[in-house]
Amino acid sequence: MSNESLDPRVNRLKLGEAGEIVKVEEGENWNIYEVFHQEKRGAHHEHVGCVHAPDPQLALVFAKEQFGRRKKCVNLWVVKSADILAFDVEDEDMFANNLEKTYRDASGFKVMEKINKFKQSK
74 binds other proteins (CB under 8 A): no
Exactly one of 32, 38, 75, 77 binds other proteins (CB under 8 A); which one? 32
* C-beta closer to other proteins: residue 28 or 105: 28
Q: 40, 121, 108: which is closest to 76 by C-alpha? A: 40
Cα Rg of the chain, angstroms: 28
Exactly one of 81, 109, 110, 117 binds other proteins (CB under 8 A); which one? 81
**Distance in Å, CB of 99 to other proteins, minimum:** 21
Q: How far apart are CA 75 and CA 36, in angstroms?
A: 9
**Distance in Å, CB of 63 to other proteins, minimum:** 8
Q: Which stretch binds other proteins (CB under 8 A): 37-45, 84-92, 93-101, 107-115?
A: 84-92
How far from 74 is each of 33, 56, 58, 68, CA to CA, in Å? 19, 18, 18, 8
Cβ neighbours of residue 60 closer than 8 Å, sequence gap 6 or more: 76, 78
Residues 39, 74 contacting (CB under 8 angstroms)? yes
Count of residues touching other proteins (by CB under 8 A): 55
- The residues of the shown chain that bind other proteins, judged by CB under 8 A, are 1, 3, 5-10, 12-13, 15-16, 18, 20-32, 34, 47, 49-55, 57-58, 61-62, 64-66, 69-70, 80-89, 91
